């Protein structure tokens, strides 16, 4: 899996990092079938070409992986749309963060957005999403 978000050389951060909201509350435990909605406070006055790039990481077979998450212009994203993730994680622990990106192109081979970071990443929060 490619790292997410894909960036061009770093530029100085021009906006504050998104503030994660208590959804899910740090340390929440979900069961398979539960809705897992990630939420953050919108960053004001973003340009039209700005997106929120989520990073959702988990450990599989002792290696850290980053899930394929889209860049969005809303302040929520439903992780449970990726229903196979609980089975992929060794221990059900998922870590997530959000940063603001400006899209400048699309990678012609992968279709992934390419961009410049407009913010530092938010805090990293975690939750458990167990199979049981």
pLDDT value, residue 90: 85
pLDDT value, residue 131: 60
pLDDT value, residue 9: 47
Give, in order, the Cα–Cα distances in Å from 74 to each of 26, 37, 39, 48.
21, 12, 9, 12
In tens digits, what is the pLDDT along the chain, a chain of 132 residues?
434 444 444 455 688 999 998 778 777 888 888 888 999 999 998 888 999 999 999 998 989 988 878 899 999 999 887 777 778 888 889 999 999 999 999 999 988 899 999 999 999 999 888 866
pLDDT value, residue 132: 60
- Give dist(CA 10, CA 63) in Å, integer: 26
Domains and CATH numbers, the chain: 19-130 (2.60.40)
State the DSSP H helix or E strand holding residue 113, giving kind and residue range, or none if neither: strand 113-117
pLDDT value, residue 50: 94
Coarse DSSP helix, strand, coil percentages of the chain, rounded to the nearest 5 percent: 5, 40, 50
Residue 20, phi then psi, degrees to nearest 5: -70, 140
Instruction: Count, in order, helices (H) and strands (E) of the chain.
Output: 1, 10
pLDDT value, residue 12: 56
pTM strictly above 0.85:
no
pLDDT value, residue 8: 47
Structure tokens at 100: 């603001």
The answer to whether 35 touches 78, Cβ cutoff 8 Å, is yes
Structure tokens at 41: 């406070």
């Amino acid at each position: 899996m490619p790292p997410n978000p894909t960036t061009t050389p770093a530029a100085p951060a021009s906006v504050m990092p998104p503030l994660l909201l208590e959804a899910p509350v740090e340390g929440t435990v979900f069961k398979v079938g539960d809705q897992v909605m990630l939420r953050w406070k919108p960053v004001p006055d973003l340009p039209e070409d700005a997106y929120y790039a989520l990073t959702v990481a988990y450990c599989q077979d002792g290696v850290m992986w980053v899930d394929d998450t889209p860049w969005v212009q809303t302040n929520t994203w439903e992780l449970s749309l990726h229903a196979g993730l609980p089975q992929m994680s060794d221990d059900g622990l998922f870590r997530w963060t959000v940063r603001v990106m400006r899209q400048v192109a699309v990678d012609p081979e992968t279709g992934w957005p390419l961009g410049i970071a407009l913010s530092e990443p938010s805090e990293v929060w975690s939750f458990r999403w167990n199979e049981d």
